Amino acid sequence: MISGSNLTRKLIAGAVLSLGLMAAVACSGDAGSPTEAPALPTSTAPAARATQPAIAPDLKQAGDSSASANDSGPKQGGIFNTLWSDPPTLDPHLVTDGTSYGIVIEIFSGLVRLGPNTLNPFEPDLAESWSISNGGTVYEFKLRNNLKFSDGDPVTAQDFKWSFERAAHPDTASTVAEEFLGDIVGIQDIVDGNATSASGIEVIDERTLRLTIDAPKAYFIAKLTYPTAFVLNRNNVESLGKNWTDDPVSTGAFRLKEYRIGQRIRLARNENYWDRMAYLDEVVFNLAGGVAMAMYENDEIDTTGVGLADLERVQDPTEEINKDLVEVPPNFAVSYVGFNIKEAPFDDPAFRQALNHAVDKQLIADQVFSNLVKPAYGIIPPGFPGYSPEIKGLQFDPELARDLLAQSAYADASTRPRIVLTVPGTGGSPGLTTEVVADMWRQNLGIEIEIQQVEWATYIQDLHRGRLQAWSGLSWQADYPDPQTFIDVLFRSDSAINYGGYANPMVDEYVVSAQTEQDATRRVGFYNDAEQIIVSDAAWLPLWWGVDSKALIKPWVKGYRFSSLTIAKLKDVWIDK
């Protein structure tokens, strides 16, 4: 272990000042775990479930954080207030980040969704049932009776066909439609601009939709829970054009009532929702910013994460605020430093491996974050389906790091390309992790980097367009409980979400084999083999997995659940005051 430079010591000493914001963001579901998606749902019918790998026994969708929704008391009415950030988009077909996703899943919906049942997480949504035939390649969905959009228009199978094809159309400019809908026969032709209709999407009648995919894939139903597969109202989108999200017609438990950029988003109960209507009158997302703990104590918001600076006080049973303290399960997410493998110096595996071995993650976890984070040496988080403790990560070893740097094509600092590490932000500190990692690279390898901050929406756009040389301040949260969402989506060479351009023929071979493998054990084995190659290649510098944390929630908030995967949950919340 290194003793730490002056900068590292200074950062460790200052951790107490900054960690509160980090925890608050993570617990609110704001930026912190952008889907980077998000976090995203999925659901499966009994006929399909046999092909799904078993959900890990400790897959936690944390229980009610305050009081049971069955408590006696009023359930109808009230306003729930939370701190949030401006979402880059409210168009479900464009969602790629957790900030947008957390709002979109409350407003819009699709055929299936991810529910709170940990052993059986997939459940019907707008589709009441579905069947699978032709060896697992044909899915037929039966929509519920009398489905309506929030404006009262009927929801039909034709609306789903139009929505899927709209998501894939080049004019929509979705960066993820190919990844989430591309298994459907004909979607790729639309993405490529060679067609406007997909033969694999058939409207049998107003309530029956048939989807044909290119091969039997265990995770296909799961993908349909992502917002790319949500249904939109064609008249609403086409009549308002690019500004349709200013007044969207939707199918979720809530509808958008107001959006003032930089101020607030207000959601109101959707009176035409197919299921039991939401208890709340409104949900208010505060976008103006502020100190979360102060806002909580002033009753401006109803929940917040707890940072290191406040942890001792809120855990003191003699403090009044202690009664609001709840446990929060870890997100199934991994934060990381990403490398653009197509650009020097990150095109050299030895150079990337040197960077990995030069970072003492355990020291940072212990002394900077007081173990509120867990060092990550692989990609799939502990407790998640497909996690393997056998994955051998690149541990801290400064001597090995220096040897690898010397073996690389970029050993000579005088000829080494300029390195720019981009992080989201608009000024101030780029973040504790980024500064400490940069300092360890400097101290252990003599590698200097420039840290560049850009606004969040621009950061996401540049990431998708491959404009970044290296990036941090980002995590990837599971879209659904299947290892495919980590290993295949992020590292398959032709994936639209492979931001770093990583390509390894053996990894491709393993993930393609896993796509159609029907034996769950063999399928997970393919993902584990691929993960080991990815980690050994140093495609990323994995940083942290989540750990159990703390949050505060007002005693008058009932039925609110924290969960390891992002699910629509505000429908069940009610205010008792």
pLDDT tens by residue, 129-138: 999 999 999 9
Angle (nearest 5°) at CA 110 between 104 and 113: 85
Amino acid 59: pLDDT: 35
Rounded Cα–Cα distance for residues 459 and 455 (Å): 6
Determine the average pLDDT of the residues in 248-276. Answer: 97
The span from the CA of 470 to the CA of 544, in Å, is 17
Q: What is the mean pLDDT of residues 475-503?
A: 95
Average pLDDT over the chain reads 87
Whether the per-residue pLDDT at 13 is higher than 80: the answer is no
Which residue type does 524 have? V
What sign does the CA torsion over 471, 472, 478, 479 have? negative
Pick 131 or 2 by higher pLDDT.
131
pTM summary value: 0.85
The answer to whether residue 230 scores a pLDDT higher than 50 is yes
Burial annotation 514-547 (CB, 10 A radius, 16+ → b, else e): bbebeebeebbbbbbbbbbebbbbbbbbbbbbbb
Interacting residues of 41 by C-beta distance below 8 A, sequence separation 6+:
105, 112, 113, 114, 225, 226, 479, 480, 565, 566, 567, 568
Q: Are 235 and 153 in contact (CB under 8 A)?
A: yes
Q: How confident is the model at residue 356 (pLDDT cuts 50, 70, 90)?
A: very high
Percent of the chain as helix, strand, coil, to the nearest 5: 35, 20, 50
Is 117 among the domain residues?
no
Written as one letter, the residue type at 116 is: P
- The predicted pLDDT at position 448 comes to 96
Amino acid 74: pLDDT:
59
CATH number of the domain where residue 447 is located: 3.10.105.10
pLDDT of residue 517 exceeding 50, the answer is: yes
State how beta strands 264-269 and 282-286 pair. Answer: antiparallel
Residue 131 maps to a domain: no
Q: How does pLDDT run across 537-575, given as a tens digit for each residue? A: 999 999 999 877 899 999 999 999 998 888 889 999 999
**What pLDDT is attached to residue 5?**
33
- Tell me what pLDDT residue 148 has: 98
β-sheet with 325-328: strand ranges across: 303-305, 549-553, 325-328
Q: pLDDT tier at 509 (50, 70, 90 boundaries)?
A: very high
Q: Compute the average pLDDT of residues 351-374.
A: 93
Confidence category of residue 14, pLDDT binned at 50, 70, 90: very low
86 domain residue, yes or no: no
Tell me how far apart the alpha carbons of residues 315 and 470 are, in angstroms, rounded to a whole number. 39
- Please tell me which residue, 36 or 297, carries the higher pLDDT value: 297
The per-residue pLDDT for 61 is 39
> 407 in a domain, yes or no?
yes
pLDDT for res 350: 98
568 is a domain residue: no
Structural domain total, the chain: 1
DSSP reduced 3-state for 532: helix
The predicted structure's pLDDT at residue 145: 97
Tokens representing 442 are 């400097």
Contacts of 137 (CB under 8 A, 6+ apart): 212, 213, 214, 215, 216
Q: pLDDT exceeding 70 applies to what percent of the chain?
A: 87
Cα dist from 536 to 157, 352, 364, 394, 525, whole Å: 46, 10, 22, 7, 17
Which pLDDT band, with edges at 50, 70 and 90, does 457 fall under?
confident
Of 225, 231, 42, 211, which is closest to residue 132 (Cα–Cα)? Answer: 211
- Amino acid identity of residue 465, one-letter, is R
Residue 518 belongs to a domain = yes
Rounded CA gap, 446 and 350, in Å?
A: 15
For 113-125, how does the pLDDT look when each residue is reduced to its tens digit (9 = 90+)?
Answer: 998 776 578 899 9
pLDDT at 44 over 50: no
Is 478 domain-assigned? yes
Tens of pLDDT, residues 174-200: 999 999 999 999 999 999 999 999 999
Residues 6+ apart with CB under 8 A from 541: 336, 337, 339, 352, 355, 356, 359, 437
308 belongs to a structural domain: no
Q: In this predicted model, what pLDDT tens digit does every residue of 62-86 receive, in sequence order?
A: 444 444 444 566 588 899 999 999 9
- pLDDT > 50? residue 236: yes
The DSSP call for residue 184 is: B
Q: Which domain holds residue 375?
A: 331-545
What is the pLDDT, as a whole number, of residue 60? 37
pLDDT of residue 51 exceeding 90: no
- Which one-letter DSSP state was computed for residue 253? S
Angle at 59 between CA 551 and CA 529, to 5 degrees: 125
